[in-house]
Every structure is written in C-alpha cells, then in structure tokens.
Structure 1
C-alpha cells in the first residue's frame, strides 16, 4: 500500500466526520499510511481547529449536524483558508456535487469508498496544488481565451470567473481544440489520477464549465462525443 509522500514530516490530515465509527476507521487507516491525523466531530469544532493549526488536507463530511459541510467549506474559504478539501459525501446526485465544488472543494469522493482510492485522491490534490502553472502562453480557441498563469479567461471579450480545477480543465480542452479528449486523458492531465475513479467528476466539471461559458446567442463551445469524451470547438 503506497505511503502519502516520501517527505518528512508526515502530512497532517484533518478529518471532519460526525460518524464516530467511520472517523475512527479513517484515523486508523490513514495513520497506517503514514499520515498525522486529527479528527473533529462537527463543523464549528473544525473551524476553531483550523484557526489554530495548519493542515495539509481536510477530509470534510458533506452531511454534518448543525452546520453542514458545504457551509463549513464556504466559511473557511471566506476566511482565506486555502487548504485542499476533499468532500466525503453520501450524496451521489450531480447538483449536490456541483454545490460542493462551487463552494471551494478540490475534489469529492462518494461513500462508501476504499482507503486506497482516498489516498490516491489526497496525493493527486496535493500534486495539483504543488505544481505551478507550466503554460505561460495565452491559449485561444474560437472566442475563448485562457491565460493559465494569470488565471484569466474571457469569452467574446467578457471575463469568466473559474475555479482552479475548472481553469485547468478548460485549458486542456482549448489547448487540444478540434481533437477529442477522453475522460481518462482528462483525469490524468487535470486531476493527476492514474486510474479512472468511480465518480463522474469529469462530467460534473464539464457541466459547470458549460454553465460558466454560456452566453446568449453563442453556441456551446464544448462538444460531447458519446462514448469517447469531449472536444472544444476549434
């Protein structure tokens, strides 16, 4: 079973989960992989802990008592806490996933899940956060322009606000405009996974991109190639 990293000290994970049995299991399993692990049973406790301690990753339950996980996420992002967050959710519907990603989550995983997949997702999120934008060029396809380094996107000259993962996904599509990119290719390039996860994370982000890029009178720039993947109109 892979370790979280080859560096020292150990990566510090904060688990925010009200299910005491699941929380204890995650503490045990992640601890066995070499993580330093702290647990909180509710959102308010987690917010207080984040004000005092720096963590490398937060594993945040979507359904928490009193203050739900999305509200916790919005609160910590509003306070400028940029620690990577992976939502742990029993809600498999696309609107709930989109809501979590819009609130500032870096990734989500649907319960029940295997510890190996959670570990892979943590490592992928940390790699994405640690890797600086490699493309200094401005990418253009049709009426869409993307500057990865400056985190700027425009369509028909109008600015579009995107989150980091959305911008990276759009950059890959625009860079390969006119060519079809499979879900596996996008998973590898954008999320850094070396496997295709059980969740439909690519499709959820594509839906969000389409919503962000939508403008009256302009066509959808993203083409779905059924059974294959997606293509950006060149």
Structure 2
C-alpha cells in the first residue's frame, strides 16, 4: 500500500467538510485533518509534527478571507500546494486567488474525482519542484536537488536517484514501517531482476551517509519486515 498524503481541509460548512473528509480518507490515499476556521487552521499548521502535503482552503470563512490567508502563508515561506474552494468562479475571483499564491481554484459543488485529480497533479508538481523541502531529523531534504543539508553541523549529503526516492517514499509513510517488497516496487518498479539485496545495499549506503553512527541507526530504522523513517528524531551534534 502506498503512503498516505496528509491534507488539511479548511471549510466552515460542517456537512460538506465531513463528507469530504470521509471520502478523502476512504481508500487510504489521503489522511485528512479538519479545520472550520482560519484560527483552527493556524493551530493545525503550527503543530509540532504538522506536515501537510496539500491544503484545501475555502475562501469564505467566519474569521477571514481564505485568499488573504493564502497570501500570508506564502509571505511566511510556506510552499505547500494550496487549492482554494469557492462558490464563485467569476474571473476576478479566480485571478485574485491565484495572485494570492494559490495553486488552483475549485468551484462548489465539485465532483470528487476532479478534485482528486487536481490534488494529485499539484502534489506531483510540488514534489518535483525546487520548492519541496522536507525535514528529516536535523536535515532539510530537497528531493529535486537530491540533497540533505544539516546547517548545524555544516554538512551536505549528496544522494543518488534511488537513495532520494527511498527517503521520499519513507517520509511519505509518515513514520509507519514500509515492507521491503513495497519499497522495491515503488522505487524500482515491478522488476523481477531486482532483489531485496539491492534494497538492503542502498539502505546500508544511506545509513553510512546520514546516520551519526551507522551502527546505531536513529533515523533509518529496520522495522516490521522493512524500514521506517524516524523523521522527527533529533540527531545530536558530532
């Protein structure tokens, strides 16, 4: 099973939000978090372990305009894809939303399949962009650059394509173990010529690069018949 994508749904329409969250979570592709106001959205985004892959943001909320909030998030340096939800699709509304930094605009009522397609498209574009930055321990991880940076230790780690793909997939698993076979399928594809030994070799090399002590893994753990990324681990300074 592929890893879940975390999504923040911000809408004050309780009925719509409840149905949308249920449908998004139904097949396990998304892990939704709810907010019924900008204040609640701010709390969710400020959470210690908050990592959202995409934000669905209504423009008409009881404590403000979603477009203004979108602009504030961009000023703060938050690059997460934002899709605005609105009951209006006049040209001026669309233009103002995109000018505020939104990646896309969806009118209510919407078809779920269309919304899902737009969500996936925005996440794919973001993950391949230079803006995508993930925190792994004391490192910042830029998949597009295939690089980990630890400013505190003045350390940069260059990754191969496969090493970067392994880290990105494990990160998307949000701390859950991923079996060796799933990792093989996701990173190498359904190729019978590739064995678990190949994966184990790449994991070994990754640990040599990113662990303070490769013999005592703190970030890249062996667990549940596969591997788990402990992205929230604080790696002590050398």
**What TM-score range do you get, normalising by the shorter chain?**
0.5 to 0.7
Q: Per-residue CA shift, 1:145-164, capped at 9, x if unaligned?
A: xxxxxxxxxxxxxxxxxxxx
For 1:132 and 1:79, the matched residues in 2 are separated by 18
Name the structure 2 match of 1:116: 113
What is the CA-CA distance between 1:131 and the residue it aligns to?
A: 2.4
For 2:68 and 2:99, the matched residues in 1 are separated by 12
Name the structure 2 match of 1:15: 9
Residues 47 and 76 in structure 1, CA contact (< 8 A), matched pair in contact too: no
Where do 5+ consecutive residues of structure 2 fail to align?
Answer: 131-238
Residues 87 and 100 in structure 1, CA contact (< 8 A), matched pair in contact too: yes
What is the CA-CA distance between 1:7 and the residue it aligns to?
A: 3.0
Q: 1:124 to 1:114 in 2, by over 3 A?
A: same
Where do 5+ consecutive residues of structure 1 fail to align?
Answer: 1-5, 134-234
For 1:129 and 1:27, the matched residues in 2 are separated by 22
Residues 47 and 72 in structure 1, CA contact (< 8 A), matched pair in contact too: no
What is the CA-CA distance between 1:66 and the residue it aligns to?
A: 1.8
Q: Identify the match of residue 32 of structure 2 among 14, 37, 45.
A: 37
Task: Indicate the SS of the match to 1:98.
Answer: helix
What is the CA-CA distance between 1:115 and the residue it aligns to?
A: 0.7
Confirm or deny that 1:74 pairs with 2:68: no
Instruction: Please tell me the root mean square deviation across aligned C-alpha atoms, in Å.
Output: 1.3
**Within 5 Å, which residues of 2 pair with 1:30-109?**
30-34=24-28, 35-52=30-47, 53-109=50-106
Q: Identify the match of residue 22 of structure 2 among 25, 28, 42.
A: 28
Task: Indicate the SS of the match to 1:113.
Answer: coil
TM value normalised by structure 1 = 0.52
Name the structure 2 match of 1:158: none
Pick the structure with greater CA Rg. Answer: 2
Task: Indicate the SS of the match to 1:82.
Answer: coil
TM value normalised by structure 2 = 0.51
For 1:72 and 1:43, the matched residues in 2 are separated by 8
For 1:31 and 1:77, the matched residues in 2 are separated by 27
What is the CA-CA distance between 1:82 and the residue it aligns to?
A: 1.0
For 1:28 and 1:48, the matched residues in 2 are separated by 21
Residues 27 and 37 in structure 1, CA contact (< 8 A), matched pair in contact too: yes
